[in-house]
Every structure is written in C-alpha cells, then in structure tokens.
C-alpha cells in the first residue's frame, strides 16, 4: 500500500509527462519516441525494485541504522551520566582533600605556636636555673674567699703570736709549758 503511493508519485514526476508531446496521442506510443522508451524503462526499473523488495530492504537498513544510532545515543547518555557522577565524586574528594589540607596546616600552625611558647618557657627556665647556679657559684666562691682570708688571717696571727711568744718566752718558761702540757695530756688519756 505504501509502495503504490510511492509508485504513483514517481509516475507523476516522470519525464514522460514533462515531455512536449501528449502521452495519450497516437504518436507517443511508437518505438521511435524516446520519451516513451524512457517511461517504459523507468516503469520496468521501478517494478524490478518493487519485485526484489528493495524499498523494504532500504527501510530495514534505515531502521537498523536508526536503532544503532539510538543505542549509540543511549550509550553516550549513560557514559555522560557516569562521567558526571565521576566528576561530582572527584570534586567532592577534592573538596575533602582541601579541607583536610587546611586542617593539617592549621594544626601545624597551632603546634608551631605551642612549640614556640614551650621553647620560650624552657629558655626562661634554663636562664633562671643558670642564674641560680651562677648565684650559688658566686656565693660559694665568696664563702671560699672569706674562708681563705680567715685561714690566712689565722695563719698570720698564729705566726705572729708564735714569733711574739717565742721572743717573750724564755727557755725555762718553755720547759715549764711543755711539762704542763704533757701532764695535761697524760691526765686526759688516763
């Protein structure tokens, strides 16, 4: 049914109808008329095409082609949706990584500030300990110096006293003092 309409339209547009001679006149149906030969050849050609079902094969090929294109479009749409999903996933991951990097940097800055504060406290404590140690060393050196001065004073005083006693003491006084000392030591030992 579809093909009969196509055949009629083809015949309507045939070159025979466009010829200058009237196709219904007697001169048209002679073999000398090339318009008639072209018309008959054309009708035979269209008949052969219809007999071998070429239009249905062409329609089938076009339908197959349309189905292939439709499946390609569906596949492209699915790939596009998958790509959009992957893109959204990567963007989400990128945001997460950027937030994590920001947290790491903030934590590092806070840790550096804490470390700097701790270092300041440690330095202050160390300086205080060293000052206390230096003060102790100074006091110790001062006490040692005072002791040395006292010892020297005692040694000088003893030497001076010995010289004075040696000059003022006679041999008799010395003998008497030795005897008293021996007696005193003997009394204390017994």
> What is the per-residue pLDDT across 72-118, written as a single tens digit (0 to 9) for each?
999 999 999 999 999 999 999 999 999 999 999 999 999 999 999 99
**Where among 44, 67, 96 does a domain terminate?**
96
- How confident is the model at residue 94, as a pLDDT? 95
DSSP 131-168: HHHHHHHHHHHHHHHHHHHHHHHHHHHHHHHHHHHHHH
Q: What is the pTM of this model?
A: 0.38
111 and 84 inside one domain: no
Cα distance between residue 113 and residue 21, in whole Å: 107
- Residue range(s) defining the domain that contains residue 7: 2-96
- How confident is the model at residue 151, as a pLDDT? 84
Digit-coded pLDDT (tens) for 12-47: 555 545 555 555 556 777 778 888 889 999 999 999
Cβ–Cβ contacts within 10 Å for residue 40, how many? Answer: 13
**Is 101 inside any structural domain?**
no
Q: Are 19 and 37 in contact (CB under 8 A)?
A: no
At residue 44, the 3 state secondary structure works out as: helix
First vs last Cα of the chain: how many Å apart?
A: 162
Q: Are 32 and 39 in contact (CB under 8 A)?
A: no
Digit-coded pLDDT (tens) for 168-188: 777 787 788 888 888 888 788
* Torsion sign across C-alpha atoms 17, 22, 24, 26: negative
**Where among 27, 61, 96 does a domain terminate?**
96
- How confident is the model at residue 156, as a pLDDT? 81
């Amino acid at each position: 049914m579809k093909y009969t309409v196509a055949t009629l339209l083809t015949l309507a547009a045939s070159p025979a109808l466009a010829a200058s001679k009237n196709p219904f006149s007697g001169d048209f149906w002679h073999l000398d008329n090339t318009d008639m030969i072209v018309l008959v050849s054309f009708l035979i050609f269209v008949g052969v095409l219809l007999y071998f079902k070429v239009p249905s094969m062409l329609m089938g090929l076009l339908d197959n082609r349309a189905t292939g294109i439709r499946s390609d479009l569906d596949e492209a749409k699915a790939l596009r949706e998958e790509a959009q999903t992957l893109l959204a996933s990567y963007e989400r991951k990128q945001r997460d990584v950027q937030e994590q990097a920001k947290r790491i940097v903030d934590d590092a800055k806070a840790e550096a500030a804490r470390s700097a504060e701790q270092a300041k406290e440690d330095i202050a404590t160390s300086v205080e300990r060293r000052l206390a140690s230096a003060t102790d060393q100074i006091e110790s050196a001062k006490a040692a110096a005072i002791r040395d001065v006292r010892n020297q004073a005692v040694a000088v005083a003893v030497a001076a006293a010995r010289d004075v006693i040696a000059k003022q003491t006679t041999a008799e006084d010395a003998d008497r003092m030795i005897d008293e000392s021996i007696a005193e030591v003997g009394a204390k030992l017994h």
